[in-house]
């Protein structure tokens, strides 16, 4: 599981950058909490990743952390 947090330095109406990339990954399930306003480090949702290969799961988690950003 990867928490989706608001980016540091951003506050206002949430914009989810990179969501399209993340949703294309196999075994990825995004769960948004419906919060319209983001603040730095505010928990906006989480992503669960499922699969059989631990190394691949770690790569997918790193990909999510690098590509899914919540800004305003």
Domains of the chain, first to last: 2-71 (3.30.470.20)
Average pLDDT of the residues in 4-32: 97
Mean predicted lDDT score pLDDT of the chain: 97
Average pLDDT of the residues in 2-29: 97
Residues 6 or more apart whose CB falls under 8 angstroms from that of 14 comprise: 6, 35, 36, 37, 38, 44, 70, 71, 72
Q: How confident is the model at residue 29 (pLDDT cuts 50, 70, 90)?
A: very high
Note the pLDDT tens digit of each residue in 46-69.
999 999 999 999 999 999 999 999
The model's pTM: 0.90
pLDDT for the residue numbered 65: 97
């Amino acid at each position: 599981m990867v928490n989706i947090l608001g980016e540091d330095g951003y506050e206002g109406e949430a914009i989810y950058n990179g969501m399209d990339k993340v949703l294309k990954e196999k075994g990825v399930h995004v769960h948004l909490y419906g919060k319209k306003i983001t603040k730095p480090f505010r928990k906006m949702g989480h992503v669960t990743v499922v699969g059989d290969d631990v190394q691949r799961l770690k790569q997918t988690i790193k990909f999510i952390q690098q590509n899914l950003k919540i800004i305003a």
